[in-house]
Structure 1
Amino acid sequence: MENIGTIRLETKRLNLRLLTPEDAQQMFDHWANDGKVTKYLNWKPYQTVKDVRNNLSEYQKNYIDVDYFFWGIEEKVSQQLIGTISASVADKTAKVAEVGYCIGQNWWCKGYTSEALEEVIAYLLEKNDFKRIEAIHDTDNTPSGKVMEKAGMSYEGTLRQRLVNNRGLVDGVYYAILKKDYISQKAQHQIYSFLNEANISYQLLEHKAVYTINEIDFDIPGISVKNLFLQGKDDFYLLILTEDKRAILKTIAQEVGERHLSFASEQKLSQLLHTTQGAVSPLGLLFDKEQKVQLIIDEQIPVRGKISFHPNRNDKTLIFDFKDFLTFLTKVNHPPKYINN
């Protein structure tokens, strides 16, 4: 996949569009001449509309570059230009982009910035050749960190005296999102939508992130299980076992007609089930449209009572009646194979 540069994007309330020199007056009036807006940025407030227009003329020339990403944020209702959002290639080899944004004071605290950022992240990861999106903000600019969190980015650390802006040399707070994590976040919402539309009942339990069953120090109703994603010669298998049972891969391989089974790669896990290590779940079978993954259930797991799985995120658990879980499997066309491991 190659980058395709800046194209028009749209959200529920915003248009993200290419800028032209004709936008100079709005840009100057709405944010570019405001010292409060530029306080945490690395460029000074513009002094004249002419200066804004000249820069926009230069920016316009860059739109032919597939590695150039720069949008004006336009409010749909008023059709007013209210800010900008951009991305730059931070590391071509590692496929990293860094995002930045600013918005006029009149539109602060309305959720517009996170709405725009969420759309840009989706575009960069789905339509362009990036694996990681990162952003940095001044430690004093905590609202910017909240924007990043709301858009799905995770805090990674604070570097001392790392950032230079209009306040001088300051500490920088880093946030980022990886493509695989973006995919699992998106999958979570798709799982909820599917279950709700199919009228499949579940109970949602929110908790701290857990990566193994041994890290669970809170109560979850029903049988506790673990999920293993395995690979044979050509096929893939999702194995559900009771939490205390060891997976004997040789025996399981014989049951499914394979000479050998091994743990599948994280790349395949993301590609087929739209999840990550630590959040393996049969709910990810929703995305296995070509039925490349065979579901295997240990026959010692009770078919009555409760059973629970992550919705492709390891900080949440969905609790089902077993019969409702079987309904889900029927609707996604993944009948299970029961084995005695």
Structure 2
Amino acid sequence: MNFQSLSTNRLDLIRVTESHVNDFYTILSDSRVTQYYGIDPLTSLEEASQIIHSFDQTFSMKRGIRWGMIDRSTGRFIGTVGLNNWSPYAKKAELGFELHPDFWRRGYVSEAVQEVIRFSFKELALHRLGAVTFLENEASYRLLEKLRFTFEGVLRGYLYQSERSHDARMYGRLRTDVITPQVKIEETV
């Protein structure tokens, strides 16, 4: 499968490459971003480069897809969105995203996620999308709820960050879920 770029009204969703390493590092070295990301803030460009390389590896093994979010109006790399733990056989994946704080609460994540949902169910023929958030990450779990993900429970000790385990909220959305007509979704992340 070739990498497929996507687009929304305000964003181009593209393959993340080494050309994005500086912007990606800026995002993931910010403790406000990594607080609920499952990693400590990055301390070097090399760490950012390794993560970008891992995106390519997981895609080539059909275990994940990660898109860079490019703001069309400025051409700026503002974050990533993607599928983790992708299983084409089991027709499922987990959704993940992060965004530069300058762009929080402007609807970018919901716009990108809605396009990834569409692509996942229509183009990849997935049956299930899951998402996991830290218990305290209200902005992310409220966004998932607005995007009609169902809260499925708490996974005890599921996430590990800062040398300790954390409980997580589990959300899911099925292709067969009945979705009422789309309403305007306000950004919470």
Tell me by how many angstroms 1:150 deviates.
Answer: 2.3
Q: Which residue pairs with 1:87 in the alignment? A: 83
Tell me by how many angstroms 1:67 deviates.
Answer: 4.1
How far apart are the structure 2 equivalents of 1:127 and 1:180?
Answer: 15
Structure 1 counterpart of 2:179, which letter? Q
Tell me by how many angstroms 1:55 deviates.
Answer: 3.7
Q: Which of 15, 19, 44 is 1:18 aligned to? A: 15
2:10–2:71 CA contact under 8 A, matched in 1: yes
Runs of 4+ in 1 over 6 A off after TM superposition: none
Mapping of residues 281-300 of structure 1, within 5 Å: none
Q: Which residue pairs with 2:124 in the alignment? A: 128
Structure 2 counterpart of 1:137, which letter? T
How far apart are the structure 1 equivalents of 2:94 and 2:65?
Answer: 10
Seen in structure 2, the aligned counterparts of structure 1 residues 76 and 63 have a Cα distance that, compared at 3 Å, is: same
Question: SS where residue 124 of structure 1 aligns?
Answer: helix
RMSD: 2.3
1:162–1:172 CA contact under 8 A, matched in 2: yes
1:6–1:66 CA contact under 8 A, matched in 2: no
Tell me by how many angstroms 1:62 deviates.
Answer: 4.9
Matched, 1:185 2:179: yes
Structure with the bigger RCO (C-alpha within 8 Å, sep 6+) is 2
Q: Which residue pairs with 1:72 in the alignment? A: 68
1:5–1:66 CA contact under 8 A, matched in 2: no
Seen in structure 2, the aligned counterparts of structure 1 residues 24 and 45 have a Cα distance that, compared at 3 Å, is: same
- What is the TM-score when the length of structure 1 is the normalising length? 0.49
2:63–2:86 CA contact under 8 A, matched in 1: no
Seen in structure 2, the aligned counterparts of structure 1 residues 64 and 158 have a Cα distance that, compared at 3 Å, is: closer
Question: SS where residue 125 of structure 2 aligns?
Answer: coil
Tell me by how many angstroms 1:50 deviates.
Answer: 3.5
Structure 2 counterpart of 1:128, which letter? L
Structure (1 or 2) with the greater strand fraction: 2
Question: SS where residue 121 of structure 2 aligns?
Answer: helix
How many residues were matched structurally?
A: 183
Seen in structure 2, the aligned counterparts of structure 1 residues 90 and 168 have a Cα distance that, compared at 3 Å, is: farther
Q: Which of 102, 111, 114 is 2:110 aligned to? A: 114
Mapping of residues 98-109 of structure 1, within 5 Å: 98-109=94-105
Tell me by how many angstroms 1:159 deviates.
Answer: 2.8
Unaligned segments of structure 1, at least 5 residues: 193-341
Q: Which residue pairs with 1:317 in the alignment? A: none
